[in-house]
Chains A and B, each alone.
Chain A
Amino acid sequence: MTATKHPNSLKRKTRLGEKLIQAFFFFCGFVSIFTTLGIVVALGSQALRFFGEPSINPIELITTTNWSPNIGEIGIWSLVTSTLITTFLALLVAIPLGLAAAIYLSEYATPKVRNTLKPILEILAGVPTVVYGYFALTFMTPLLRLIFGSDVVKIYNMASAGLVCGVMIIPLICSMSEDALRAVPRSLREGSFGLGATKLETSLRVVLPAALSGVIAAIVVGTSRAIGETMIMATAAGAGPNFTFNPFESAETMAGHIVRISGGDVDYNSIDYTSIFIVGLTLFLMTLALNFLSRYFVNKYREVYE
């Protein structure tokens, strides 16, 4: 061994860039956690204020069905059911169509077709939702009234808003699912074809299950979009809480209610104003529950490939 130092010494080096990047990533992660906490605190403190009002009996939140906080009626179900109904209808449209489109694009379409269709789809995802709102009001509602009769279908109704909301989230579900499907290794498809499976069998029984966690993620994001969708609901679903299970009735959703109240000139100290924080908190809890549910589902059913 000579005394001259080898250029590639084994000594530990401080890599400053590495450290900085690490700190930056930590910071980004911290910001998102901090934001979430901030939301909880903001919603929570206003909610506490609301429940502190003498005219409010917190238990009535879930035991009654009329929502009219200024006269002490706080049955949030009327807002929750309408949100669930519109979300359900939206998913009824978006999951089958979005998934079918995703399977088509990833398994059937030639590269040329895919490269044309996918950008178009992504443009569709970027259309402002207010446009969809007017599409619901001026196209879907008249169509529903034509089919089911204008005495059955109200001018503002949940069905129209929900279905159009479904159309709005098709591109989202399709695009995310397609990415998940395409990430499934080719070798799995070959294995299936080699056993005499058709393209459809391969897509549904091998590729789709292998991509399940990605597909579920797509559906969860789509569902969150539907639950939180504001403009379409405010435009087409109706502008007053209404406890009903009939999708052709007019009923305000939670998000729709929040914008209407916060957009109107209500006094910041009024009970109407603080009540929307309760609605917001409920909305937040619903999406949170959805996330936990999907995580459970994914862990239970996912099929891991290398």
Chain B
Amino acid sequence: MLAENASIFYGAFRAVADVTLPVHERQITAIIGPSGCGKSTLLRAFNRMNDLVQSARVEGKILLDGDNIYAPDVDAVAVRRRVGMVFQRPNPFPKPIYDNVAYGVRLGNPRIPKPELDAIVEQSLRGAALWDEVKDKLKESGTALSGGQQQRLCIARAIAVQPDVLLMDEPCSALDPIATIKIEELMQTLKERYTIMIVTHNMQQAARASDYTVMMMMRPDRAGEMIEFDQTEQIFTNPRDKRTEDYVSGRFG
């Protein structure tokens, strides 16, 4: 995906200013920066989740395989099927685990034969490293799982529809360190097939888990801007911008 001069507004307030960002395929791109600088806003622009906010508006372009997803003839629903999302707080549906994973698949293909669906559910749960923990209780509610399991269920649910891109907004912020490590390991296997963008407040996580890093910062007019984008190693060892250096070394923000 590629953002070209993207600005995002809430009513008259410009929350994100003029971001141009190439997202590399089958790589993990982390977005970091202080609270309120527009990380979530930017991330949600990549699958048109901001459409759900009445006042939100996007200027500029965001391209998916060369097509602007904000072109007038583009269907936001179709975009979201190709660009999935995992949220900060795990939000499994209050349905059986099986139905959680099958949900998106059934939307796209209501008549899918049961064996085929079973296979997708198993494959997705395996993909999210959850299968062994839940294979005997697929009929139990997704909300009855632990927080870390719920978040992996949400990942399974997202990959079940086979998107091209996965957006993750602080997916580990509600999890303990062990569950966090699990998700990070999972991301490493997922990136073989998916392009991943992740917002995180955890500098070690960005350093450990991502290939590219976007550093955002708030301007004096409170609009968020991208101040640096580079390979993660570069950002953490040899940043070009002084503010990035201060931020990643924890002296700031």
- Shortest distance from the beta carbon of B143 to any chain A beta carbon, whole Å: 6
Residue in A190, A201, A304 whose CB lies within 8 Å of B107: A201
Given A194-B47, A195-B158, are A303 and B95 also a contact pair (CB < 8 Å)? yes
Per-residue CB contact flags for chain B residues 28-53 toward chain A (1 = under 8 Å, else 0) read 00000000000000000001010010
The reply to whether A196 and B107 contact each other, CB–CB distance below 8 Å, is: yes
The reply to whether A196 and B104 contact each other, CB–CB distance below 8 Å, is: yes
Q: Which of A185, A190, A194, A209 has the most CB of B within 10 A?
A: A194
Interface range on chain B (Cβ under 8 Å from partner):
20 to 34
Given A187-B87, A205-B103, are A303 and B93 also a contact pair (CB < 8 Å)? yes
| Given A194-B84, A196-B80, 4 additional A-B pairs, CB 8 A | A191-B91, A195-B84, A195-B161, A303-B141
For A209, the chain B residues whose CB sits under 8 A away are 94-95
Name 9 interchain pairs, CB-CB below 8 A, sorted by A.
A188-B91, A188-B93, A190-B52, A193-B52, A195-B81, A197-B77, A201-B107, A210-B94, A303-B141
The reply to whether A197 and B143 contact each other, CB–CB distance below 8 Å, is: no
* Cβ-Cβ contact count across A and B, 8 Å cutoff: 71
User: Which residues from chain A sit less than 8 Å from chain B, CB to CB?
Assistant: 110, 185, 187-198, 201, 205-206, 209-210, 303-306
For A206, the chain B residues whose CB sits under 8 A away are 93
The reply to whether A304 and B78 contact each other, CB–CB distance below 8 Å, is: no
The reply to whether B158 and A194 contact each other, CB–CB distance below 8 Å, is: yes
Q: Answer whether residue B154 sits at the interface, using C-beta atoms and an 8 A cutoff.
A: yes
The reply to whether A193 and B80 contact each other, CB–CB distance below 8 Å, is: yes
- Shortest distance from the beta carbon of B6 to any chain A beta carbon, whole Å: 19
The reply to whether A303 and B94 contact each other, CB–CB distance below 8 Å, is: yes
CA distance A303 to B96 in the complex (A): 9
- Shortest distance from the beta carbon of A260 to any chain B beta carbon, whole Å: 48
For B199, the chain A residues whose CB sits under 8 A away are none
The reply to whether B91 and A190 contact each other, CB–CB distance below 8 Å, is: yes
- Shortest distance from the beta carbon of B21 to any chain A beta carbon, whole Å: 20
CA distance A304 to B78 in the complex (A): 29
The reply to whether A194 and B87 contact each other, CB–CB distance below 8 Å, is: yes
- Shortest distance from the beta carbon of A293 to any chain B beta carbon, whole Å: 22
For B141, the chain A residues whose CB sits under 8 A away are 303-304
Q: Which of B89, B91, B103 has the most CB of A within 10 A?
A: B91
For A201, the chain B residues whose CB sits under 8 A away are 107
- Shortest distance from the beta carbon of A106 to any chain B beta carbon, whole Å: 14
- Shortest distance from the beta carbon of B144 to any chain A beta carbon, whole Å: 9
Chain B's closest residue to A184 (CB) is B94
CA distance A276 to B101 in the complex (A): 56
For A194, the chain B residues whose CB sits under 8 A away are 47, 49, 80, 84-85, 87, 158
Chain A's closest residue to B142 (CB) is A303
Given A191-B87, A196-B77, A209-B94, are A306 and B143 also a contact pair (CB < 8 Å)? yes
The reply to whether A191 and B47 contact each other, CB–CB distance below 8 Å, is: no
For B80, the chain A residues whose CB sits under 8 A away are 193-196
